[in-house]
Amino acid sequence: MPGERVRSRSDVSSFPPLARPLSDGAVTLRPSAERDIPEVLIAYQDDPELHLRLGEDRPPSGAHLGRRVELADQEWWSGSSLTLAIVAGSDDTCLGEVRAASVDWQHLRVEICVWVAVAHRGTGLGRRALALSSQWLLAECGLERVGLMVDPGNVAMRHAAIAAGFAHEGVLRGYAVEQGRRRDKAVFSRVRSDLAA
């Protein structure tokens, strides 16, 4: 099966090329692109609290998303971050994203987050996207740990993480400052040894 290769320490410090989109037959992850910008803007409009759940100060503008696309290749090859669009079936419309950031190549770990557009929540897209992306990050990118932090009250995302093979590690109290208030974060992880389970 493609993707079972484990990269050596000497070749880690960037994400490998994605020869073809990641797919489980129902959901596909591909690098985000400029054509996704309108759907991303609509998703933020449809869910006025999306930026808060993602730890952002405000919803992104079209210009901000355009700059992100312009920098995407550089950030992918430098190993600093990446964004994958979530699509379903044969339709290439962006229905959400998986973002990988806070990459620590010395300790071979990364933090990811996922969001799904309001109209497509509850359909398993988040769970499938978490499973696909974490599998790839651990099996093909040479990383040892994929972390996920969510609002403890986000029950749907907590269930999606567990269903995708993540272990719940606990709650970090007062971990993040968002909108001027300290917030707790529920911590989940998937590590390379989980892939054999």
Q: Which residue has the tokens 């093979």?
A: 165
Which range has highest mean pLDDT (6-10, 12-16, 128-132, 183-187)?
Answer: 128-132
Band of residue 12 on the pLDDT scale cut at 50, 70, 90 = low
Q: Which residue has the tokens 């700059």?
A: 67
Q: The domain spanning residue 114 has which CATH number?
A: 3.40.630.30
pLDDT at 8 over 80: no
pLDDT at 4 over 70: no
pTM: 0.90
- Asked if residue 11 belongs to a domain, the reply is no
pLDDT at 74 over 70: yes
- Asked if residue 87 belongs to a domain, the reply is yes
Query: What is the number of structural domains in the chain?
Result: 1
Predicted pLDDT of residue 52: 86
Lowest-confidence pick of 1-10, 77-86, 148-157, 182-191: 1-10
Which token pair is 58? 């405000």
Residues 6+ apart with CB under 8 A from 86: 27, 28, 29, 94, 95, 96, 97, 98, 114, 116, 125, 129
- Asked if residue 16 belongs to a domain, the reply is no
Predicted pLDDT of residue 173: 95
Distance CA(53)–CA(59), nearest Å, equals 11
- Asked if residue 186 belongs to a domain, the reply is yes
- Asked if residue 119 belongs to a domain, the reply is yes
Q: Is-contact 98 160, C-beta < 8 A?
A: no
For residue 93, the enclosing domain spans 22-196
Distance CA(84)–CA(30), nearest Å, equals 5
- Asked if residue 5 belongs to a domain, the reply is no
pLDDT at 97 over 50: yes
- Asked if residue 7 belongs to a domain, the reply is no
Query: In which region does residue 170 sit, left (phi positive, over 0), alpha (psi from -120 to 50) or beta (all else)?
Result: left
Lowest-confidence pick of 6-15, 20-29, 122-131: 6-15
- Asked if residue 9 belongs to a domain, the reply is no
